[in-house]
Amino acid sequence: MTEEKTTRELVYETNRDVKWICRALRQMERCDEDFETRIRALEGWRAEKAGEERRVSTISAGAGGVVGGVVAVLVKVLGGG
């Protein structure tokens, strides 16, 4: 036969479990905050990169004709895009 737990033991066990769950939730929240920070940084970087691409595109279009095509190729080769 199994021994029945007393109310005191059940309360102690429940309290321990609740503390463990709270610690795990705090850790998950910290991980979520870290993840959100990293996502925001990537989104900012991507927006910056998109702005650079638009700037390069505008410069290339303004150069016109063959010269514009050459400028676009040079910009890409030199690492602008």
Residue 46 lies in a domain: yes
Looking at the structure of the chain, the number of domains it has is 1
User: Which residue's structure tokens are 């010269």?
Assistant: 67
Of 31-35, 43-47, 73-77, the range with the lowest mean pLDDT is 73-77
> Helices 65-77 & 7-63, crossing angle to 10 degrees?
140
Residue 13 lies in a domain: yes
The range of the structural domain enclosing residue 55 comes to 7-77
Stretch 15-37: mean pLDDT: 91
**What does the pLDDT read at residue 31?**
87
Stretch 41-45: mean pLDDT: 87
Residue 1 lies in a domain: no
Residue 2 lies in a domain: no
Residue 42 lies in a domain: yes
Residue 62 lies in a domain: yes
Stretch 55-68: mean pLDDT: 55
**What does the pLDDT read at residue 63?**
46
Residue 69 lies in a domain: yes
Stretch 11-35: mean pLDDT: 92
